[in-house]
Amino acid sequence: MRNDDVLKSISYTLDLNKPQIAVICKLTGYEPERHEVEMIFSDEKETEQRIDGRVVEKDVSHELTSHFLDGLIVHRRGRQKNAKPRPIEIPVTNNTVLKKLRVAFKLREEEIIALLKMSGFEVSKTELSALFRADSHRNYRPCGDQLLRYFLKGLAEKYKEE
């Protein structure tokens, strides 16, 4: 799933504006530039570029996305005492987004299954646990765009009410 779509969805869920997104990124020591944050909310037509004669849509950088997700964990849960800063994970995959949001929102497997079910997507506990495994594990499964969209939709439904 595109990084800007993920960030738009999270900002909608938590009612975050552009300065708040920048503040969350700064919690991990990353200073986003104004155009980086603007790119999250820009129209796709304005962000197209040509590479080797074909049109490719620009996307928010993996670096910004990773810092935002790590900053969101600090923002929602607080900074751990005596914790060393963790290196950012690049590239940001759907599995990474799912893992980071799970931590940020303090979600257990049952809650994630309920969120997905609430938004119209059925998944078993076994299928879900495969998404959280290390990518070198034999039972690892990549998270598809559809599952992540339903998860973000369920998250919005739940946290938009609060």
Query: Tens digit of pLDDT for each residue in 116-128?
Result: 999 999 999 999 9
Q: What is the pLDDT of residue 89?
A: 87
For residue 56, the model assigns a pLDDT of: 60
98 DSSP 8-state letter: H
Question: How many domains in the chain?
Answer: 2
Distance CA 151, CA 119 (A): 7
- Which structural domain, as residue segments, surrounds residue 39? 1-92
Same domain, 83 and 107: no
What band does 80 get if pLDDT is binned at 50, 70 and 90? confident
Q: How far is CA 113 from CA 52, 96, 118, 159, in A?
A: 43, 17, 9, 16
Residues 4 and 75 in one domain: yes
pLDDT of residue 87: 86
Q: What is the mean pLDDT of residues 98-127?
A: 96
pLDDT score for 81: 84
Backbone angles phi, psi at 54, to 5 degrees: -115, 150
Same domain, 76 and 11: yes
- Both structure tokens of 83: 């914790």
Q: Average pLDDT, stretch 6-26? A: 95
Domain boundary among 71, 92, 113: 92
Residue tagged 């969350």 (tokens): 24
Pair 16, 24: CB distance under 8 Å? yes
